[in-house]
Chain A
Amino acid sequence: MKNTRLSKYAGFWPTIFIAPFCIFFFVFNLYPILYSVYMSFLDWNGYSEKKFIGIENYVNIFTKDTTFWSSLFNTVKIGLLGFPISIILGLIFASLLSRVVRGRRFLQTSNFLPYITTPVAIGMMFTFLFEQHIGMVNRLITALGGEAVNFIGSKFWAPIVIAFMIIWKDTGYFIVMYLAGITSIPEDIYEAAEIDGASKVQTFFHITVPLLKNVTVFLVITSMIYAFQLFDEPNLLFTNQSSSTVGGPGQSCLTMVWNFYNQAFGPNPRMGYASALSCMLFLIIVAVSLVGMKVMNKEED
């Protein structure tokens, strides 16, 4: 009797409690996702009559659209230039900060500030920093006797500037995550290492780094996902000017999401095709995340 009553509650109330989440998930997450998959089979500009074309959009991505592949290449390139350095710097700074006693909070906060700075401000700031004629970086270069570099107008330098934006913005976040990880490492391990005569560098590589593996796995996976969704940084660097070009100089900074945005919301919109691009992006992110997790967890196994 008691069990029956309990099992009744176990079925009824949990269902009621999770119902709001389920409804909102269906309405605001699952439905739009499924609808965008449906749209990817359409020839539709967003307001014209919908025309079902099967998998033609996907066929075009693989057979005609070189921009898709170049945007994938750009995204990976910028991601690889920015995130590994940012994660490594985050680890090093967190390790150094964990030993600081006075002013630690100030250093933590000041390092985290870029992460919460609005992307528009970051875009404008970096434009002024790296502009060829009046940019601070070029002024420094010319003051030191060098020749001004066209950082933002050059297809070689522009992706590097964006990678630098990523490093500047995200290192603070990585520091905070690593600091949280470091505080969970028992102090006696460090003391034992010190008694055994381990140097600071040895302690860092043989204790800190291995024991922060879980944090590193989390940061690498989320960074990969974020890298594939890169849009704000390149877009804002190049669109605060009337002569802005799609994708930066020579389309060297055209990321996958920027390409999607341009296809979906450009002057000649292709909502159906853009949906196919977003589905491809989704599949790539899932695949890369799974591979990343598998590779990073392999050592542990």
Chain B
Amino acid sequence: MRKKLISAILITALAATSIVGCGGASGSAASSDSAGGSDASASNAEATADSGDVVTLTYWGWDSNYAWPMFEKYEETHPNVHFEATAVEWGDMLTKTQQALASGSELPTIIPMDVALIENWKDMDILEDLTDYGLDTSEYVDSAVEKCTTKDGKVIGMFTSVCPSGIAYKRDLAKEVFGTDDPEELQKMFTSYDDYVKNGAKAKAAGKYMFHSGQAVAEWFYFASDVETQTGSTLNYTKKMTDVLSKVIAMRDAGVLDTYQNGTAEGNATYADDEHIFYPCPDWAITYYIETNDPDGKGNWGLIKAPVSYSHGGSALGITTSATDEQKQAAYDFIHWAIAEQEGAEAGRDLAGFITTYKKLTTDANFTRRADEDWFAGQDISTLLYTEIANEMAVVKSSPWENSMVSVRNDVAQQLMDDKNMTLEDALQIGLEELQQLVTDDSITIE
């Protein structure tokens, strides 16, 4: 009797575990199936609802300065759409989605994809082809379309902003160190990377630093480099990093770089101090970094072009394949409104400083006029960013291993700043060893 009872309990327990296992597996399989398909019509029958019903769109993302106000704005004119947004850290976004996919949990309707991870999003194959909903790729900035297009021609999202980058400076410090705060005169003084090293001597003599962080300039050089991170199955580590790190070392040795870690609270606090003159500055950084960290700095900033015009950052909005047809259509309508319609694009510009990738508006000088030029003492930074820099900037394709390269770049740049005797060869070797550990795909060659 006892044996029977124990057996019965054990069988129950095993059955329970099997059910758990099967539940997980079936959830996962369902998720995989839906992720694998790109046909928007092959979705949920429950989706069909009366046109008067409210459609709920879920969203995960870090970009509360842009997404949240945009949702509110859209809901004002579209009462049949309701957004449920969940704040997810930038660094957790991909992981959270992967875990949801692995466990068969529900994915959000709309997903923001950072440019550095866009290739990883493509690999996951969970996003709708926006051309199925009517997105005309010829109407958007070519580089944005190119970044969002998969090998088989699917356009998995669209970038919300063009992200041209310049070099911002504090006018009072520029005048003190270089004798002028005029952007045209300063532009002539800083036409090459070497100019930053040469003129850095003046900053050093005045007890100032040109830049606050070795990591920040490494990031600038990385995005400005025309060396592709990956060609075929080869990661061009040495070529790209030699380009980046040699410039960092030249600036470090000239004593023009301070040792703050980029993006930390203490690093951000330097925007308001009187020690650091220049900051690599994508257009979104004006709102996110300058205006936020230097609240009393209105009118004290200027902007010049970097020696090589470049684009930095940005995120694309995509629609998950697991959403219902109704949600997908509503999500596309929102994305189209936010990027390609006057009202939405203006909201993005005015609320977050985002200039859309919709060509018709991007090339319209009246549209691209930023409302915050008073921070730059009335300088026409809009023309500089969206006409001059945007037309010149080279856009380099990302790699699925971009995040590993970026992680190595940050670490090596930090080590270079910590060890002033570290040579380029040392730095390259350290980075190579780290990258070899991070890149776990045997089919990838690191050069």
Contact = CB atoms under 8 A, between A and B. Distances in A.
Interface of A: 8, 11-12, 15, 19, 22-23, 26-27, 30-31, 35, 45-47, 49, 65-67, 127-128, 131-134, 150, 152-155, 239-247, 249-251, 263, 265-271, 273
Given A249-B411, A267-B94, A241 B16 contact: no
A121 B166 CA distance: 36
Contacts, number: 142
A35 B102 CA distance: 14
Interface of B: 1-2, 5-6, 9, 12-14, 16-17, 20-21, 28, 31-32, 35, 90-91, 94-95, 98-99, 101-102, 117, 120, 124, 213, 215, 219, 258-267, 269, 400-401, 403-404, 407-408, 410-411, 414-415, 417-418, 430, 433-434, 437-441
Contact of A250 (B6, B124, B415, B417): B415
Contact of B120 (A66, A127, A268): A268
Contact of A46 (B99, B120, B417, B439): B99
A31 B20 contact: yes
9 contacts: A12-B5, A27-B17, A31-B17, A241-B267, A245-B410, A265-B95, A266-B95, A268-B439, A268-B441
Contacts of B411: 245-247, 249-251
B1 to A, nearest CB: 7
A273 B6 CA distance: 36
Contacts of B437: 65-67, 251
Contacts of A154: 418
A221 B262 CA distance: 40
Nearest to B2: A11
B212 to A, nearest CB: 9
Contact of B259 (A150, A265, A270): A150
Contacts of B440: 263, 268, 270, 273
Contact of B269 (A30, A31, A35, A134): A134
Contacts of B400: 267-268
A47 B31 contact: yes
A67 to B, nearest CB: 4
B120 A27 contact: no
Contacts of B259: 132-133, 150, 153
A218 B415 CA distance: 40
A251 B99 contact: no
What secondary structure prevails in chain B residues at the interface with A? helix
Given A11-B2, A127-B264, A150-B418, A46 B16 contact: no
Provide the main secondary structure of the chain A interface. Answer: loop
Given A22-B13, A47-B31, A243-B410, A271 B102 contact: yes
Contacts of B28: 47
> Closest 8 interchain pairs by CB?
A242-B263, A11-B2, A46-B102, A245-B411, A26-B13, A67-B437, A243-B262, A47-B101
A293 to B, nearest CB: 31
A153 to B, nearest CB: 5
B431 to A, nearest CB: 10
Nearest to A132: B259
B264 A12 contact: no
A15 B6 contact: yes
Contacts of B32: 47, 49
Contacts of A247: 411
Given A27-B13, A127-B264, A250-B430, 12 more contacts: A15-B2, A46-B101, A47-B102, A47-B124, A153-B417, A154-B418, A240-B264, A245-B410, A246-B438, A265-B98, A268-B439, A268-B440
Contacts of A127: 264
A46 B90 CA distance: 20
Listed residue (A15, A22, A152, A246) with the most chain B CB atoms within 10 angstroms of its CB: A246
A26 B14 contact: yes
B219 to A, nearest CB: 8
A242 B213 CA distance: 13
A19 B9 contact: yes
Nearest to A239: B91
B4 to A, nearest CB: 10
A263 B16 CA distance: 30
Most buried by B among A8, A31, A267: A267
B60 to A, nearest CB: 15
A176 B99 CA distance: 39
A11 B440 CA distance: 53
A67 B213 CA distance: 28
A153 B261 contact: yes
Nearest to B430: A250
Nearest to B214: A153
B263 A243 contact: yes
A154 B422 CA distance: 13
Residue with the highest number of chain B CB atoms closer than 10 Å, among A15, A19, A243: A243
B21 A31 contact: yes
A249 B95 contact: no
A267 B120 contact: yes
A27 B20 contact: yes
Contacts of B441: 268
A257 to B, nearest CB: 15
A47 B6 contact: no
Contacts of B262: 241-243
Contacts of B430: 250
B181 to A, nearest CB: 26
Given A27-B20, A265-B99, A273-B440, A243 B215 contact: yes
Contact of B434 (A152, A251, A273): A251
Contacts of A273: 440
Which of A35, A245, A246 has the most CB atoms of chain B within a 10 A radius of its CB? Answer: A245
A8 B4 CA distance: 13
B378 to A, nearest CB: 31
Nearest to A152: B261
Contacts of B16: 23, 26-27
B265 to A, nearest CB: 8
B99 A133 contact: no
Contacts of B267: 241
